[in-house]
């Protein structure tokens, strides 16, 4: 397509430049009922999976229909969402912190028409465009990252693993049968963008080989001290290297015995690529939460050290997740999150009930703090 100018003049880039205006104020986009009753809500109810009602002091009601969103969406799909909002909700809608879509209507008789409309919409391949659900003690959307769509440090894909997992647990998105809400999160490397470290079940991309060193370009592309300081186990040191043509260059040496393949050094230095088809895969973590309800927030803990990348459906990974969800659903008490449950029954029982193998990889060995994760008591179940 030919170039179409927006009015920006590259010859005078600072002319007519608008800056530091921040986001639009959220009140500009409030549905009227929300605006009128802000700060005056009395109570709410979950009418059915995916449908909420909030009642205000004035007696006003607002019904919310929550639908799953793939998070990665085209402009076309956003327009379709806008069409639905125009048709049923006077043009208003919102997205949740788990990237679900919420349509709000101000009376009960509008709910059924909106639900019927949403249920009818499917992609050509057959999947629901706007599946209703994600409320209460079920499984809501998966917070995830960029994966092979856009990032340069991933060890696995985000959108693919998330689609495979949500297909596996779809009935729990549309149901509220679990003891408490179960949050699944996904991050494609251990930068852990998102909520992996604090979710009930977490999918995490993981490498198993040390980085390769591109000696020829390293000193040109990288600030060597940054790469050294980026290593959590101090496996990297500066070194001179002789190229095949005899020139001596500044470079790095990696102690493979100390490297745990985190990939931090590649983040800082493009000459240390680390991803590997066979080496890369997935780690599963379990038992994190961020709410303060009953128990304080917890970090999630590694329970499966490695699962291969099996594109495009990651069957081994989804099966393990399925086993964990089922064991939790049948064994935990009401209101118990996965971490609460595992700590009550003991982690040795957790592994037994979920039929997960315990390997030495799961035993913490990172610095002093590892000691506190070992068991300094005789209290243990056989």
One residue of 226, 311, 363, 370 binding another protein per CB under 8 A: 226
Nearer to another protein, 13 or 244 (CB): 13
Pick 135 or 271: Cβ nearer another protein? 271
Taking the complex as a whole, the smallest distance from the CB of residue 256 to another protein amounts, in Å, to 23
Distant-in-sequence, close-in-space partners of 90: CB < 8 Å, separation ≥ 6: 31, 32
CA distance 285 to 228: 28
The DSSP result for 100-117, as a single string, is -EEEEESSGGGHHHHHHH
**Should residue 223 be labelled a site residue for another protein when binding is judged by CB under 8 A?**
yes
**Tokens in use for 201?**
């079940």
Asked if 362 contacts 303 with a C-beta cutoff of 8 angstroms, the reply is yes
Q: Pull the structure tokens for residue 46.
A: 């979950």
Site for another protein in 282-321 (CB under 8 A): none
224 makes contact with another protein (CB under 8 A): yes
Q: What is the 3-state secondary structure (H, E, C) of 228-251?
A: HHCCCCCCEEEEEEECCCCCEEEE
Residue 212 binds another protein (CB under 8 A): no
Minimum CB distance to another protein smaller for 191 or for 233 = 191
CB neighbours of residue 87 within 10 Å: 13
Residue from 58, 107, 171, 221 in contact with another protein (CB under 8 A): 221
Which residue, 99 or 267, has its beta carbon nearer to another protein? 267
Site for another protein in 227-286 (CB under 8 A): 267-270
Interacting span for another protein (CB under 8 A) from 22-30, 223-231, 333-341, 360-368: 223-231
Q: Residue 88 corresponds to which tokens in the numbers above?
A: 């049923």
What is the C-alpha separation between 367 and 376, in angstroms, rounded? 17
| x/- map, 175-194, another protein, by CB under 8 A | ----------------x---
Applying CB under 8 A, the residues found at the interface with another protein are 13-14, 191, 217, 220-226, 267-270
């Amino acid at each position: 397509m030919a170039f179409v100018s927006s009015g920006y003049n590259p010859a005078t880039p600072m002319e007519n430049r608008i800056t530091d205006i921040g986001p639009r104020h959220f009140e500009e986009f409030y549905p009227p009922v929300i605006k009128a009753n802000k700060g005056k809500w009395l109570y709410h109810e979950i009418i059915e999976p995916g449908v909420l009602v909030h009642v205000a002091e004035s007696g006003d009601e607002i019904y919310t229909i929550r639908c799953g969103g793939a998070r990665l969406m085209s402009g076309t799909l956003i327009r379709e969402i806008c069409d639905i909002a125009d048709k049923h909700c006077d043009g208003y809608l919102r997205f949740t912190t788990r990237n679900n879509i919420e349509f709000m209507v101000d009376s009960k008789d509008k709910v059924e028409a909106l639900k019927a409309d949403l249920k009818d919409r499917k992609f050509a391949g057959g999947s629901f465009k706007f599946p209703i659900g994600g409320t209460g003690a079920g499984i809501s959307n998966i917070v995830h990252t960029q994966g092979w769509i856009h990032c340069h440090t991933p060890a696995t894909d985000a959108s693919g693993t998330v689609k495979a997992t949500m297909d596996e647990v779809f009935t729990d998105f549309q149901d509220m049968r679990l003891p408490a809400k179960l949050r699944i999160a996904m991050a494609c490397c251990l930068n852990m963008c998102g909520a992996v470290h604090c979710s009930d079940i977490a999918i995490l991309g993981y490498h198993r080989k040390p980085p390769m060193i591109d000696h020829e370009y390293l000193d040109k592309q990288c600030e060597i001290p940054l790469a050294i300081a980026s290593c959590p186990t101090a496996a990297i040191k500066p070194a001179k290297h002789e190229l095949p043509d005899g020139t001596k260059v500044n470079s790095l040496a990696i102690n493979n015995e100390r490297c745990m393949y985190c990939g931090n050094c590649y983040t800082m230095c493009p000459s240390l690529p680390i991803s590997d088809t066979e080496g890369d895969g997935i780690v599963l973590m379990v038992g994190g939460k961020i709410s303060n309800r009953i128990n304080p927030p917890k970090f999630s803990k590694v329970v499966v050290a490695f699962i291969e990348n099996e594109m495009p459906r990651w069957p081994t990974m989804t099966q393990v997740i399925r086993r964990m969800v089922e064991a939790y659903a049948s064994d935990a008490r009401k209101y118990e999150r996965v971490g609460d449950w595992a700590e009550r029954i003991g982690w040795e029982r957790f592994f037994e009930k979920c039929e997960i193998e315990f390997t030495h990889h799961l035993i913490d060995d990172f610095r002093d703090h590892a000691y506190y994760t070992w068991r300094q008591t005789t209290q243990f179940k056989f």
